[in-house]
């Protein structure tokens, strides 16, 4: 007789709607960041900032872009917190309602939160690096 074993690491499950929406938001944040950075680089390519050295309009564009990156980073963390909170609370309510005492459900909720946190950290790191580049340009124009 064959004995069936379950390996939880190889089980696939579909992500929740909230997580799908969060992934869509992260994709939009990456695309928006790339577009903003490419606009800045189009006006003054990397390592050729001297083209815009005396341009107050370019400096204002850099400051606006830096502020925009900061807002995207904050919004990314706020949405991650909301997603983690909703995911954890819905799992707890489901467990209470079903009177289930199992670790698989807890692992499932924890996995969702950790994967969403990883996505948030990658997105914020990407936006932070772009903002850092913009702030460096602002500082070099002010000198």
Q: Kindly state the tokens that stand for 114.
A: 């950790």
Model confidence pTM above 0.75: no
Express each pLDDT in 29-59 by its tens digit: 999 999 999 998 888 887 776 767 778 888 8
Quick check: 87 and 16 in contact, CB under 8 A? yes
At 5, is the secondary structure helix, strand, or coil?
coil
Q: What is the b/e burial string over 19-57, where b = at least 16 CB atoms within 10 angstroms of the residue's CB?
A: beebeebbeebbeebeebbeebeeebeeeeeeebeeeee
Domain locations along the chain: 57-142
State the pLDDT at residue 99.
66
Express each pLDDT in 107-127 by its tens digit: 666 777 777 788 888 888 888
State the pLDDT at residue 28.
94
Which residues touch 44 (CB under 8 Å, ≥6 apart)? 51, 52, 58, 137
Does 22 have pLDDT greater than 80? yes
């Amino acid at each position: 007789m064959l004995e069936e074993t379950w390996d939880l690491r190889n089980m696939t499950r579909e992500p929740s709607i909230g997580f799908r929406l969060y992934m869509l938001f992260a994709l939009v944040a990456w695309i928006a960041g790339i577009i903003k950075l490419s606009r800045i680089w189009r006006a003054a390519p990397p390592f050729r900032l001297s083209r815009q050295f005396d341009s107050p309009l370019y400096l204002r564009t850099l400051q606006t872009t830096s502020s925009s990156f900061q807002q995207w980073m904050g919004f990314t963390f706020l949405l991650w917190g909301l997603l983690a909170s909703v995911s954890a609370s819905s799992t707890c309510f489901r467990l209470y309602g079903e009177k289930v005492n199992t670790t698989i459900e807890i692992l499932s909720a924890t996995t969702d939160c950790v994967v969403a946190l990883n996505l948030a950290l990658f997105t914020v790191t990407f936006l932070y690096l772009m903002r850092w580049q913009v702030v460096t340009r602002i500082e070099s124009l002010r000198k």
